[in-house]
Every structure is written in C-alpha cells, then in structure tokens.
Structure 1
Amino acid sequence: MSSIGDSLLGSKLLPSEVVLVPKPTLEDFSLEGYLKDYKGFAKISRARHVGQYCSDLAAEGYRIARDELKQSTFDTAAYVELCRILTQYTGGTTDQDSDWILNTNMKAKSEDTEINAEFDRARKRNSKQESMRALTRHVELLQKVGRMDEAIKKLQDNRDSCPDVRAQGELHIEMARISQLLYRWMQITTFLQRVESVLPDPPQALKAEMAVMRAQASFGSCEWESAVNRILQLRVDVLRDTGVFERGVVTARDIALYGTLAGLAAHGRDKVKSMLIDSMAFRQFLDQIPECQRLLQSYYDSNYGDALARLDSILSFCKIDPVIGPHVSQLYQRILENLVVLYVKPFASLSIEKMARVLSSDAATMERLLVKMIEKGRISARIDGATGFLVKHTEDPRDTALKRTEEIHSAFLLQTELMKYRIQYLEEESVVGSSRGAQYRK
C-alpha cells in the first residue's frame, strides 16, 4: 500500500545529514514537553526534524517519531526507515515490530479494497453522496499511509463530484489541512480562498481553524506584519472551545512565538508595546511561554543586553522548529536592526565601539551592519572613520527655512500660471459669446 517514495517521511530520512544546531538553551526545555501537545503527522514531522538537525536530541527525536507513527498511522515504510536509523544510536540493535508491520499492511489493504468496492457501488447508483463518503475514506487512508501528495491530488480530481456547496468547502479545507502538515504556505492560502468562495459564512469552528491557518501561513511566508495582525485577532478560549488545539497541529505556544518574533521583526518599540505587551488577548498565549513576555518587556525597556540574551535563548529553541527554523537568521537580523534603530534614536552621534559592546557584538561587525542600514535608509547618518563615531544627519534650520521658501515660491508660480490660463479662457469665452449674440440678432 505504501512505499518509501510515497511516504510522508520516506527518503527524507537521511541519517548522514549534517547536524546544524545544538540543544536549545531555553529554560526548562525538554523534547517530550515540547512535543506533547502535537498529534499524528504534526508530531511525527516535528520529532523527525529534531532528529535530523540536533545531534544531542537525535535519538530521542527519532524514537518519538517512530512511536507516534506506529500508534497513529499505517505508514510501515517510514516505520522501517525510522527503525533503521535508530540502530545507529543503539549499537546496531533494533526493536522493530514485524507483527505490527504485517498486520498494518493487511489492514491497509483490506480498507483499500472496501473503499474501492464502495466507489463501485456509488458509481452504479450514480450517488454523489456515496461517492463523497468513499472519497473521504480514501483520503483518510492515503494520509495514514503517508501519501499526502496523492491525497491532495485525489481531492482535486474529484471536485466536480461534490453534491453541494458545503461538500466543496469541506473538500478544500481538507486540502488546506494536508498542506499545513506539509508546510506549504502558498497552497494553504489558495485553498482557504476557495473555501471562502463557496462558504462565505463558515461555521465558527471552521472560521477559527482557518484564522489559525492564515496566521501560520503568513508567518511561514515571512509576512511579519500580516502575521502579527492575524495573530492579534485570535483568542485562546475560542480556539480551545472550537477544538482547534485538539487537532494537535498548532499549539498556543506556537502562536505566542509567531506573534512575538513577527512583532519584533515588523514593528518598533511603541507598536510592540501597544499591540503585544498591552494586549490582554495575546498575553493569554504568552502565558504558555513566559520567556517571550520577558523578551518583549526587555525590548520595550531598552534593556539591550538582556533582550539579545533572551532572543538568543528563544531562537535556539526555534531552530529545531520546522516552521520557524528556516527563518531564524532573517528574524534575528530584522530584530537586531530594530534594536539598533532604537539604540541610536536619542543620540546625535555615538561611539560604534561602545554600541557594539552594548549589543553584544564587535566594532567591525557593528560597522558593517550600520553601513547596510544606512544604505537601506533605516538610519539617516554617516560613519566617521577617523573617530569611529556614527554621526546622524541633522538639518540646519536655515536650510529648512530656505527649502520652505522655495516650496512657497514654486506654489505661487503655479497659482499665477493657473490664473493666467483662467483669464485667457474667460476672454475666449467672452468673444465666442459675443459672436453668437450678433448672429442671433441678424
């Protein structure tokens, strides 16, 4: 029923991959605690990601992935592959469950046969309702054996068989859910747009689930401002009551991380305060990871050293997260630039060496960063190479007065020109009116 090539994990499980990140330094971190609120393929993919990219946690990550896969899927090919990889951490021994593999393959084949028979009956009766039930079962089976792309294709190929608008909406939301498991953010957006086109007013539970998907897709696409705006519309109690967290794909901790990091990357000090720190709704998410609350407060208080230390700690955890991990470098750069803007704001000139010490860097690295920020227009200043100071551009009051005078003069000339054209127009109209009156009198 499944092969390694078809599996959700499949050939991606390469034990020889280079390990990229150390164990997270986040306070009270444990891999079991991190993964406990995820379920099914979401838990499997996250545990596998840890196994691939963190040597200190590799054995535990692969073990958790294997156990969850055995408990909640029919993906025997991925199970065999995980067991093979785990032998590298157990001295060549394996506890592969051959009976489970055999029974699971038989169960999957039996269910596939039943579904095919159900499809045949539906075609003979020309019943769209029965066809949709068989399609739903088949898609669920494909997901259980790890054939996610085939499940999406199956849904796309059967859109015309939907008996009503509601069924079309359910079909598209299922495609969005599978895309969410695969971290395909553009596909999620596309499928959600299709849901809204056929279900303009979806049920509350579906509306909440779609809101979370959109927020996660915005973050995954590096649309930081959009992600923050969407996250601030979420409510912990609504997501809990509508069962969004029960799906085990996105947790309240995830939303706190997305909102904190995207907010620090997208906005300056004042907006971070008004949008995140003072938001009672977002604070309920922050309760799941207090370190984010402390980071936001340190940023607002201009406590640069503490803010950077907390940011490093949080990002060390985010590096093992398959959603945030690919964007850690970009997030750090954006947040660091915002800290630099915040640092230089009160000064007309300042020592680059001193700024580097405060921001846990060295003078050469800080100077390169400042050059880039000046080129991008984020800072209006110049670097004095002789003194090692950053000197901000300040306008001379006389230059400002001269510039304003020139603007007034230009506006006056424009008004004069327009008035001249207006007079000319009225004179021409007067001549034309007089000639028409003479013709009428004749």
Structure 2
Amino acid sequence: MASDLADSPFFRRRKAKIVKDPPKFDLESYISNYDGFTRIDRLHHIGSHSPYLATDAYRAAIAEALQGKNVQLYLDLVAEYSQIAPDDPEALTDTRWAEEKTRKVQNEQDKLEHELKSYKNNLIKESIRMGNEDMGHFYYACGDWTNALKAYLRMREHCTSTKHLADMALRLVFVSIASKAWLTAQQNLMKVDSAQLKGDEKTKLDPLLSALAGLAHMSLGRFREAALSFINTSPAFLTAEPAAGIKWQREVLTGNDIAVYGGLCALASMDRTELQNQVLANNDFRNFLELEPHIRRAINLFCSSKYSACLEILESYRSDYLLDVFLSEVVGDIYSRIRTKSIVQYFIPFSCVTLDEMASKFQLTREHATIEDELEAMINDGTLNARIDLVDRLLISPPTNPRFNVHNDALSMAQRYEHTLQLRLTRLNMLAAGMEIRPERNSHQRENAPSSFGEGISAGLRGFGNKIGLQ
C-alpha cells in the first residue's frame, strides 16, 4: 500500500522529501499528545512526507480542520489528499461546509470589529485591550498569522500591568512559532523578559521561556545555544499551568520533544566532558531523558567512546525525526555534526587506522559514496587532521615532533620570565629616581614620614622588595 502511494502524483513531485522507511511511533498515540493548530500541522507534515502514514494522517488532519475555522487549510488538505487517494470519500471537498463556515467566520469577524469599534469610542483601555485580544484569537484560529500579529501588537498601548505585557508577548511568540518566524519568536521572547515579572509569576514562566528559546535556537541552527536552553529547562515545565491562556505542553512542544531536541543538540555541539557533566549529571534534564530512554542511551554510548553504537541508535530513529515538524529541517545537519565528531574522537588515540576499519565502524551515509570521500571532505575543511594513504588504504595521523614542542614551550616560558624581570627592574629604577607619584598624606602620616628623601627611598625599596620576594 505504501509503495502504491509513493507512486502517486503528489509524492512523485516531492521525491526528495519522502521518508521512505516506516517510523517507529504509532500515529494515534503520538498525535494524542498534541492539541490545537500544532496537531493539524504535525499531521499534515507526517502525511505529506510519509507514504506509510499518509492516509491515516490526512484523514485525521481533515477531521481536525472540520472542527476549526481555517477554511483554506481544509481546502488545501483535501486538495493534497485527492492527489494521494482520489477514490477516498475524504478526498472530496465538502463545499457546503466550506461555504457555510466561510459565512459564519465573516459574521464573527464583523461582530468582533463592531465591538472593538464601540470600545474605542468609549475609551475604556481594558475593553480595547480585550477587544484586540479577541481579534488576535480569531485571526489565529483562521490561520491569518499577519493580522493575528497586528491585533496582538495593538494591545501594547492599552496594557496596564506587567502581566498584560508578558501575556501579549507570549501570544506573539505563539503566532510566530505557528508561522515558523523564528527571529520574530526570539525577539518576542526577549519582550517577555523585559516585562520584568517578579516572584511567582516569573518563576512559573522561566521553564517555558527556556524551552521556547531552545526551540527557536534549534530551528535557526544554533545548536549549542539550543542545547543549553533545553538542558536548563526545569521539570516544572511538565506540570506548569497555562500561560496567556495557552497550554504550551500540548499546543507547542511536549516533554518528550524537549528530551529529543535537547539531547540531539547537545550531541551535536558538546564534547564528552560537557555531555557527562551538563547533560547526564543534570538532575533537571534527567526527568526529560527518562521520557526518551534511547536518547539517554545514545549519549551514554558517546561518552563511553562507543561511537558506532551511538550512531546506530540515532540512525534507527532518523525516520521519526524527519517526520517531526520542527526537527525535520535541521536533523540532517545535526546528524552530520554528530557523525563528524564521532570520527574525529575515534581517530585521536591512533597514529593510523585502515580505511576498511573506518568503514566498518562508521556505516556510510547518503551524502558520501565511500568512506574515503567523507574523510577527504573532513580533511579539506580542516575538521580532521590526518592524511589518506590510498596505496596501503590507511588513514594516517601527521607526524609530530615532541622535542620541538618541549623546546618551544621552554623558550616561551623563558621569554615571559625575562619580560617580567625587566618590568620589575624598571619599577625599581623609577622608585630609586623618585619618579613615584604618591597620594597626599594626612597630618598623622606626615608625623611618621621619613626624615629624609634617602630614607624614604630606602623604605620604599624595602617594601617593594618584600612584595616581589627579593631579599
């Protein structure tokens, strides 16, 4: 069945983006963790990339769209599904529903605009703020991200407390994530910080802001910053109450997502010591890793220098991650970085390794036809300090001269000592010549001052000599 769907016109046009292998997760149990727009968005992403799950994903997405106000999203889903399974009843557009829903949506918009206009005429700030908020909610439900952002932004001048400002900024973050505008999301996350919340309100928001910052960093390819944000997310995120009326754990990302995103970003950007100290020994992040044991196992294997086993685990989950709506765009880069780090770390203890051994330890990827091509690319970009002997099929570490390094270090140390000594002698000469500028003394200091210039110089020299250890 999956092979038949892969030959459909829709998937033939998306050949480069098809996930050919079946994922490990069960679609129904996976999608039950999400609500709101992200539920439809994830179903749409899965259906448009996996021939194995396309039918179930599109049917579920269409059913969800029929419960909402986004008529255009429903029409797009049906149009795509009709190219995959044209004989399925769900692939037929329900024009009656679309026309009726469009009319209801227009009536609701007219009503909200009329109410907002009356609030402005009455000049009641709180009513105007809530009117703009209702307009933002409406546009978000309709999938009109631009107008939703504008409506939420208009709330700013009518906010009367720091909590109102923070809620407005969180709503802007929410819309930015839905529209995948990651720079805008980062800017609005900073606005939440600038709202200067205090006490319990700030404590409740900190885990959420850390997780959202990690998501934005990851989507922009800043994997180290993303890893630090995710691993510093408090487990309170899992039980946090809704903020700005949004249940973020179900409408954006779950605890499982934090474990996967944080673990992969850490593997891609941290060395073994950092992974051990900041990830595995992190009591807060351990709560998230327990939700995804294979990520913890992969990190443990990397820290134990079992790189091939670590890569095998990650490779077995590649299909799952390619079907993740946020991770799919960066998973290739993350995997490439982890593999490169593994090869470099594996080669460090050796003076030479056979290419056949390297090929057996690190299974080839789609990017490179042979292990020689991959190693050559790493050597050319300066990632791997080695040479390839194609005659004997060896990867050779360049020769080093330990004696030269020792002599060079000794010479550098002698130059530093000479420079320090010159500075000290210069200081002594300046003191002897009376070229020191001293602070003005009070009457008590003048009574105890030395009786002569020579005696003052001698006292100064003795003090300086004691300070630098001269006898």
Scaled to the shorter chain, the TM-score interval is 0.7 to 0.9
- For the residue of structure 2 that corresponds to 1:169, the secondary structure is helix
> Counterpart of 1:391?
396
Q: CA deviation at 1:96?
A: 3.9
> CA–CA distance in 2 between the matches of 1:305 and 1:422?
60
Kindly tell me the number of residue pairs found equivalent between the two proteins. Answer: 418
- Work out whether residues 133 and 151 of structure 2, in 8 Å CA contact, stay in contact via their aligned partners in 1: no
> CA–CA distance in 2 between the matches of 1:273 and 1:404?
32
- Work out whether residues 22 and 319 of structure 2, in 8 Å CA contact, stay in contact via their aligned partners in 1: yes
> CA–CA distance in 2 between the matches of 1:306 and 1:424?
66
Inter-CA distance 26–97: structure 2 relative to 1 (3 Å threshold): closer
Alignment deviations for residues 20-69 of structure 1 (CA, whole Å, 9 cap, x no partner): 22255443x22222222111211111111122222332232222221112
Q: Structure 2 counterpart of 1:111, which letter? A: E
> Counterpart of 1:434?
none
- For the residue of structure 2 that corresponds to 1:87, the secondary structure is helix
Inter-CA distance 401–105: structure 2 relative to 1 (3 Å threshold): closer
- Work out whether residues 41 and 69 of structure 1, in 8 Å CA contact, stay in contact via their aligned partners in 2: no
Q: CA deviation at 1:369?
A: 3.1
> Counterpart of 2:56?
60
> Does 2:206 correspond to 1:207?
yes
> CA–CA distance in 2 between the matches of 1:176 and 1:255?
18
The 5 A counterparts of 1:118-137 are 118-137=115-134
Structure 1 length-normalised TM: 0.84
> CA–CA distance in 1 between the matches of 2:203 and 2:356?
55
> CA–CA distance in 1 between the matches of 2:194 and 2:329?
32
- Work out whether residues 208 and 237 of structure 2, in 8 Å CA contact, stay in contact via their aligned partners in 1: no
> Does 2:112 correspond to 1:107?
no
- For the residue of structure 2 that corresponds to 1:383, the secondary structure is strand
> CA–CA distance in 2 between the matches of 1:140 and 1:124?
22
- Work out whether residues 179 and 187 of structure 1, in 8 Å CA contact, stay in contact via their aligned partners in 2: yes
Inter-CA distance 354–162: structure 2 relative to 1 (3 Å threshold): same
> Does 2:35 correspond to 1:36?
no
> CA–CA distance in 2 between the matches of 1:405 and 1:85?
71
> Counterpart of 2:43?
47
> CA–CA distance in 2 between the matches of 1:195 and 1:100?
40
> Does 2:159 correspond to 1:156?
no
Inter-CA distance 193–382: structure 2 relative to 1 (3 Å threshold): same
Q: CA deviation at 1:415?
A: 4.4
**5+ long unaligned stretches in structure 1:** 1-13, 431-436, 438-442
> CA–CA distance in 2 between the matches of 1:84 and 1:375?
47
- For the residue of structure 1 that corresponds to 2:211, the secondary structure is helix
Inter-CA distance 79–15: structure 2 relative to 1 (3 Å threshold): farther
The 5 A counterparts of 1:238-387 are 238-243=237-242, 244-361=247-364, 365-387=370-392
> Does 2:145 correspond to 1:142?
no
> Does 2:407 correspond to 1:402?
yes
> Counterpart of 2:162?
165
Alignment deviations for residues 294-339 of structure 1 (CA, whole Å, 9 cap, x no partner): 3223333333433222111222211111211111221111000111
> Counterpart of 2:186?
189
Inter-CA distance 293–246: structure 2 relative to 1 (3 Å threshold): closer
Alignment deviations for residues 75-116 of structure 1 (CA, whole Å, 9 cap, x no partner): 112212322332231427445444533442333223222212
> Counterpart of 2:460?
none
Inter-CA distance 92–408: structure 2 relative to 1 (3 Å threshold): closer
Inter-CA distance 410–368: structure 2 relative to 1 (3 Å threshold): farther
> Counterpart of 1:77?
72
- Work out whether residues 49 and 322 of structure 1, in 8 Å CA contact, stay in contact via their aligned partners in 2: yes
Larger mean CA deviation between 232-241 and 315-324 belongs to 232-241
Alignment deviations for residues 107-160 of structure 1 (CA, whole Å, 9 cap, x no partner): 322322221221122122111111011111111111111101211022224422
> CA–CA distance in 2 between the matches of 1:405 and 1:234?
46
Q: CA deviation at 1:163?
A: 3.5
> Counterpart of 2:173?
176
- Work out whether residues 209 and 239 of structure 1, in 8 Å CA contact, stay in contact via their aligned partners in 2: no
- For the residue of structure 2 that corresponds to 1:56, the secondary structure is coil
**5+ long unaligned stretches in structure 2:** 1-9, 436-452, 454-471
- Work out whether residues 139 and 145 of structure 2, in 8 Å CA contact, stay in contact via their aligned partners in 1: yes
> Counterpart of 2:438?
none
Q: CA deviation at 1:171?
A: 1.4
Q: Structure 2 counterpart of 1:332, which letter? A: Y
RMSD: 3.0
- Work out whether residues 54 and 320 of structure 1, in 8 Å CA contact, stay in contact via their aligned partners in 2: yes
> CA–CA distance in 1 between the matches of 2:405 and 2:264?
39
Q: CA deviation at 1:412?
A: 4.7
Inter-CA distance 197–385: structure 2 relative to 1 (3 Å threshold): same
> CA–CA distance in 1 between the matches of 2:206 and 2:421?
59
Q: Structure 2 counterpart of 1:50, which letter? A: I
Inter-CA distance 341–192: structure 2 relative to 1 (3 Å threshold): same
Inter-CA distance 417–326: structure 2 relative to 1 (3 Å threshold): same
Inter-CA distance 106–344: structure 2 relative to 1 (3 Å threshold): same
- Work out whether residues 23 and 57 of structure 1, in 8 Å CA contact, stay in contact via their aligned partners in 2: no
- Work out whether residues 22 and 55 of structure 1, in 8 Å CA contact, stay in contact via their aligned partners in 2: yes
> CA–CA distance in 1 between the matches of 2:203 and 2:430?
63
If asked which structure has higher relative contact order (CA below 8 Å, sep 6+), I would say 1
Inter-CA distance 425–277: structure 2 relative to 1 (3 Å threshold): closer
